[in-house]
């Protein structure tokens, strides 16, 4: 069963609705004592990465999350929390991945935030993208991106610059897009994660 880590950053209704549609069981993780009930975890998040990290620190779950051995998926700001540092709030993150979260440069051609559907190219084979063709479209809403690093990039996309749409290291997975708002391939990704 999936444990959704609740630390006060964002609305999780669309995520729980998607899991319910797919028949995937889930529960909530509010503190360290709740982790034992679950065999995998999702770290959701919307809004400001620096503020989200502050809330996560206040929850007392940081060290537990960093020590997890079970499959763990970060979504949107949940992905940014897994990096070493974010330019949003000039904040240190969980440092699960030794890479940076950076802000898009605003321009006439590329508006910030990056909002809408974008194609995602798979950079390596991994269980998260099973049965999902490379080049499939997913839904993004973000002003900050995770720098591309071939050692950790499971899938990439381009919006003014090439960046990591998904990263993977050991039992930690993350996606910048919102699978719960990305139609059939987003649902396939959530299903894949539930089967890892």
d(CA 132, CA 128): 9
32-88: per-residue pLDDT in tens?
A: 999 999 999 999 988 899 999 999 999 999 999 999 999 999 999 999 999 999 999
The radius of gyration of the chain from alpha carbons, rounded to an integer in Å, stands at: 15
Parse the chain into domains and list their residue ranges.
2-195
- Phi and psi torsions of 37, nearest 5°: -80, -10
Element (H, E) at 81: helix 77-81
Task: Return the CATH number of 2-195, one of 3.40.50.10700, 3.40.50.880, 3.40.50.2300, 3.10.20.30.
Answer: 3.40.50.880
The catalytic residues are: 76, 178, 180
pTM > 0.85: yes
Beta bridge partners of 153: 167
d(CA 154, CA 3): 23
97-134: per-residue pLDDT in tens?
A: 999 999 998 888 899 999 999 999 999 999 999 999 99
Residue listed under structure tokens 């779950």: 61
pLDDT bin (cut points 50, 70, 90) of residue 10 is confident
148-164: per-residue pLDDT in tens?
A: 999 999 999 999 999 99
């Amino acid at each position: 069963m999936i444990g959704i880590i609740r630390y006060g950053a964002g609305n999780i209704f669309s995520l729980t609705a998607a899991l319910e549609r797919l028949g995937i069981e889930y529960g909530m993780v509010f503190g360290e004592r709740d982790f034992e009930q679950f065999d995998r975890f999702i770290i959701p998040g919307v809004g400001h990465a620096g503020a989200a990290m502050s809330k996560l620190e206040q929850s007392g779950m940081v060290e537990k999350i960093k020590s997890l051995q079970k499959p763990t998926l970060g979504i949107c700001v949940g992905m940014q929390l897994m990096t070493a540092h974010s330019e949003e709030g000039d904040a240190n993150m969980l440092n699960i991945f030794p890479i940076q979260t950076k802000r898009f440069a605003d321009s006439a051609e590329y508006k910030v935030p990056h909002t809408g559907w974008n194609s995602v190219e798979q950079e390596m084979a991994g269980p998260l993208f099973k049965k999902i063709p490379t080049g499939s479209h997913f839904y993004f809403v973000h002003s900050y991106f995770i720098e591309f690093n071939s050692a950790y990039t499971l899938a990439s996309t381009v919006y003014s610059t090439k960046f990591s749409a998904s990263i993977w290291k050991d039992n930690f997975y993350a996606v910048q897009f919102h699978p719960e708002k990305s139609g059939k391939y987003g649902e396939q990704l959530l299903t894949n994660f539930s089967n890892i």
